[in-house]
Amino acid sequence: TPEMYANLKPTMIKKGHRPNNALLVGTKRKDDDGYWKVKTAEPNHWELIHVQTWERAHGKRPPGHKIFFLDGNRDNCELENLACVTDAQHLAITRNNLRSPDPELTAAGVLAAKILTKAIERERGRTGAVKRERLQTETRRSFFRVKTGLRSMTMQ
């Protein structure tokens, strides 16, 4: 109502003024999921620091790809700790528990996920549902062997 608006008007932020708690461009903060972000433009444009780091070194991230941390530590945004994988590869890494606190073992898990997704893509293009189920069963068995090997390597 007009009366309410008249009462609230003195407390409203005036056009062209910034609120006292506005953050400057270049400010870094951690979001609710634990990822570091940096403010890159006004009024509220934020970018993930790990994605920005990877894109500076390799160019624009391809569509349908994710940048993730090899050691699982979201505070470690160094280029050596980042990997670019497709959404399907990321899903295979997560489903088959191919991550490890050791970045080298996770890198091996990334390679295994690439092989798995490529095999599934090839089979889906050429075969029916029966062969696809057999392939998925075989790949699960082989990934169990890979996981077991990765775990034994971490215990040594």
Beta bridge partners, 30, equal 36
Angstrom distances, CA of residue 14 to CA of 7, 41, 88: 15, 21, 48
Contact 98, 109 (CB under 8 A): yes
Q: What is the pLDDT of residues 74-91, one digit of tens each?
A: 999 999 999 999 999 999
- Per-residue pLDDT at 93: 93
Least confident of 29-43, 64-78, 114-128: 114-128
Mean pLDDT of 118-140: 67
Q: What is the pTM of this model?
A: 0.68
pLDDT higher than 80, residue 150:
no
Q: What is the pLDDT of residues 50-69, one digit of tens each?
A: 999 999 999 999 999 999 99
- Per-residue pLDDT at 120: 85
Q: What is the pLDDT of residues 4-20, one digit of tens each?
A: 999 998 888 778 777 77
Residue whose C-alpha is closest to residue 65's, from 29, 90, 33, 34: 90
